[in-house]
Structure 1
Amino acid sequence: MQTETAQSGLFARLVEIGRGPARAEVSPETLYDRHGVLVVRVGDVVVKAHQADREHGPPFLERIRLAGTLPEVVIAPQGPPLTVDGRTVTIAPFGEPVDPAQELPWEEGARLLAALHLESVPAGAPSWGRPTRVARLVSRLGEGPAEDAVRRAFATLPAWIRGEEDEPPARTVRLIHGDWHLGQMVRARDGHWRLIDIEDMGKGDPAWDLARPAALYSAGVLPPDDWGRFLGAYTAAGGPAVPAQGDPWTTLDIPARSLAIQIAATCVISAGRDDRALDGPEQAVIDACVRISAAGDAA
């Protein structure tokens, strides 16, 4: 009850911020309320309370500044973040999210990523450093067959991803989004697509921005035609994450395996929290973990 009360109080504060000093009577809409993140639309603005356990110090401020220099690619927060009830809050213009009932904009997403990856990396750009997330999720797993499958697959990853060694120099360093999927795209007022959610934006290996669709394709969740549309549009736009000619998996293999394991761990944790069985797509990524560990044993 205390958590629900606190969340309702936070919702009211976000609505108040979104309505502004004029207190315009605009009906609010909750866009997202999961994993410690609350996002509320109030008219033409979106007010977001970020995860309490994420770092929102100087690197986050630099990410906001960096996003503001890329208006054709990213919708950036408007101004510095606020602190509301101990939470970091940002305000940004509203954009229409991807409609899963319509044809999914794989090509548009690929072209946005390519455009971001081809931008010059400015001095002071923060490092991405996101691969450590998979290790944190695996450390939270309980006991059971699915959990064991995820842990065995995790053991096949390089030591630096498992947190046992320092991260080696990246193959190539570009500006990357850091957590890309179709939910990180919106259609702006001008009708063009933009990236949103810049908490992980910074310099890093661009292959990690392709890792989630690559992982879902490998797991059999993303249809081959959609994967082909995405990868083809990315390479046609000159994206540097994969070779222009040749096998894209020479650069995508480790990121894709890591994201498959991360997604699988998230699915298992979520199913356990909700006291339910894994659904079909969730079981598919567990099965992918079994294949990953089997390939590691055979190597």
Structure 2
Amino acid sequence: MTTALVRALGALARDTAHARCGVLCDCRPPAVLADRPDGTVVRCGPVVAKAHAAGTDTAALSARLALAADPGLAGILLAPLPARPPAGPTEHGAASPHLAELHGRPVTLWPYGEPVDPGDPDEAPWEEAAALLARLHRTVSRSDRPAPGNAPGPPPMRGPAKAAVAVARMCAARPGDPATFPVLAAWRGLPPWARDEAPAPAHRPHTLCHGDLHLGQLLRHPAPHGPWLLIDVDDAGAGDPSWDLARPAAWYAAGLLPPDVWSRFLGAYRAAGGPAVRADGDPWAELDPAARALTVQTAALALAKSAAEHRVPDEVEQVMIDACARIAALPPELAAEHSS
């Protein structure tokens, strides 16, 4: 944890909260909600400040923030708050009205919302997540209509790129380790577009996507009983919408997500008119490449993290690693059938 950065984020969140609710706002002291290499998040009352990863492409982030702030996506994505300037000077001007800088890191501000309760899996909002995804996927891309003023269009969705980064991270953490061989074999069996080596085929859908869907990417706003919204647009953009269904699909295929939950999720997505899969029948022709890619990504991260922490993979991590071995053992003709 970078103490100076955390202090600065807390001060920014506190000042923004006071500006929004008045100097008499009774906010508790700033609290760290997350502190990872990909982001440090601090809350003060109704405001959350996030420092994005060092080296973030601020032009792409600005375009993603414009998506989140787009009135056409209200009720789907949580909208960012206008960024207040940091207390001290910055090295360069903000690229977006929603983007500031602290300690060399791009910073955004967000209203606080109530997250999914991990201790109550029976109440997890799978149907709500599916309906939000379907609405997002059905929204006309900003690349397909004139952008207001000089607002940028959506960048590519980062799902395939993140999968490639995870595999590279695994290889760096475990060079030559036989434990990585099934994961690499499953990776090599994916179509080039799922490895971020080529555009997706023209016949596949191309829509706005979230890019990193899991239950941690939903919250209720206003807290605690407002509607569910999707958060964290760091990976959002234009791409193949099957990627947004790929993580629950991979969990279902690996046996980690109960069949009834998967059925509810898929049914809600279809009922809302989601374009990633056919309206009825077997969805796996559309979902299989992205689901396999997410399986590889999860297994690769598990091997990288367990190596860094000097431990063996835990039970859930091993399930995904074993799933890669099964994927790698698929007959070539079956793998090719589902790779388009």
Question: Under a length normalisation based on structure 2, what TM-score does the superposition of the two structures give?
Answer: 0.81
d(CA) in 2 for partners of 1:288 and 1:28? 41
d(CA) in 2 for partners of 1:53 and 1:153? 30
Aligned partners of 1:185 and 1:196 also within 8 Å: yes
d(CA) in 1 for partners of 2:200 and 2:323? 25
What is the CA distance between 1:76 and its match in structure 2? 2.0
Q: Which amino acid aligns with 1:275?
A: H
Aligned partners of 1:170 and 1:204 also within 8 Å: no
d(CA) in 1 for partners of 2:318 and 2:55? 29
What is the CA distance between 1:115 and its match in structure 2? 1.2
What is the CA distance between 1:289 and its match in structure 2? 0.1
What is the CA distance between 1:298 and its match in structure 2? 6.7
Choose the corresponding residue for 2:113, options 81, 95, 99: 95
Alignment-derived partner of residue 319 in structure 2: 284
Alignment-derived partner of residue 179 in structure 1: 212
What is the CA distance between 1:129 and its match in structure 2? 4.3
Alignment-derived partner of residue 159 in structure 2: 130
What is the CA distance between 1:229 and its match in structure 2? 1.2
d(CA) in 1 for partners of 2:140 and 2:197? 31
C-alpha distance after superposition, 1:132-184 (max 9, x if no partner): 22222212321333311211111111134335545543611211111111110
d(CA) in 2 for partners of 1:191 and 1:164? 40
Q: Which amino acid aligns with 2:131?
A: R
> Within the alignment, does 1:68 sit opposite 2:56 as a pair?
no
Alignment-derived partner of residue 94 in structure 2: none
Aligned partners of 1:215 and 1:259 also within 8 Å: yes
d(CA) in 2 for partners of 1:241 and 1:285? 24
d(CA) in 2 for partners of 1:14 and 1:46? 9
Choose the corresponding residue for 1:209, options 244, 254, 261: 244
Further displaced range: 271-280 or 170-179: 170-179
Alignment-derived partner of residue 34 in structure 2: 32
Alignment-derived partner of residue 304 in structure 2: 269
Alignment-derived partner of residue 4 in structure 2: 9
What is the CA distance between 1:36 and its match in structure 2? 3.3
d(CA) in 1 for partners of 2:330 and 2:305? 27
Alignment-derived partner of residue 270 in structure 2: 235
Structure-2 change in CA distance of 1:167 and 1:228 (3 Å): closer
What is the CA distance between 1:82 and its match in structure 2? 0.7
Q: Which amino acid aligns with 2:3?
A: S
d(CA) in 1 for partners of 2:244 and 2:203? 14
Structure-2 change in CA distance of 1:125 and 1:104 (3 Å): same
C-alpha distance after superposition, 1:223-265 (max 9, x if no partner): 1121111111111111111100221001000000000000110
C-alpha distance after superposition, 1:94-140 (max 9, x if no partner): 00110011221111111111111111112323222431222222123
Task: Give aligned-pair identity as a percent.
Answer: 46
* Deviation beyond 4 Å, 4+ runs, structure 1: 21-25, 163-167, 296-299
Aligned partners of 1:76 and 1:198 also within 8 Å: no
Q: Equivalent residue of 2:233, what SS?
A: coil
Further displaced range: 22-31 or 106-115: 22-31
What is the CA distance between 1:18 and its match in structure 2? 0.4
d(CA) in 2 for partners of 1:112 and 1:152? 34
d(CA) in 2 for partners of 1:202 and 1:267? 26
d(CA) in 2 for partners of 1:39 and 1:32? 5
d(CA) in 2 for partners of 1:253 and 1:208? 10
d(CA) in 1 for partners of 2:203 and 2:238? 10
C-alpha distance after superposition, 1:54-110 (max 9, x if no partner): 3122x2212211211222111122132111000011000000110011221111111
Q: Which amino acid aligns with 1:30?
A: V
Aligned partners of 1:19 and 1:26 also within 8 Å: no
Alignment-derived partner of residue 195 in structure 1: 230
RMSD: 1.8
Q: Equivalent residue of 1:131, what SS?
A: helix
d(CA) in 2 for partners of 1:208 and 1:75? 20
d(CA) in 2 for partners of 1:129 and 1:153? 20
Aligned residue runs from structure 1 range 147-166, under 5 A = 147-165=180-198
Aligned partners of 2:219 and 2:230 also within 8 Å: yes
Which runs of no fewer than 5 residues in structure 2 stay unpaired? 83-97, 146-152, 335-340
Alignment-derived partner of residue 145 in structure 1: 178
Structure-2 change in CA distance of 1:236 and 1:156 (3 Å): same
Alignment-derived partner of residue 105 in structure 1: 125
